[in-house]
Amino acid sequence: MSNGDIVVNLLLSPLELNFLQVAVDNLIDVQRSVIIDCANQSDPDVVESARDSIERLRAGLGLKLTLEVYNP
């Protein structure tokens, strides 16, 4: 794929899907907290950590939207 997306075919039970949704929600919460903490820092080394957290947050939000399609 040229756009960098990763395609994964998961065969999950409804319970496993619910567990995955909870894990993704926790990932999103943690990344938001890290971004807030980084925003409150004046250390330039923290910028790279914030960038990584933003990318993980974007990935988590995308996964959350995908999961909600299959388990609204």
- 3 pLDDT above the threshold of 90: no
Per-residue pLDDT at 1: 42
pLDDT tens digit sequence for 12-68: 788 888 888 899 999 999 989 888 888 887 777 777 778 888 898 998 998 888 888
- The whole-number pLDDT of residue 4 equals 67
Domain ranges within the chain, ordered by starting residue: 14-70
- 36 versus 2: the higher-pLDDT residue is 36
* Cβ-based neighbours of 24, under 8 Å, separated by 6 or more: 60, 63, 64, 67
- Work out the burial of residue 24: count CB atoms within 10 Å of its CB; fewer than 13 is exposed, 13-18 middle, 19 or more buried: buried
pTM of the model: 0.71
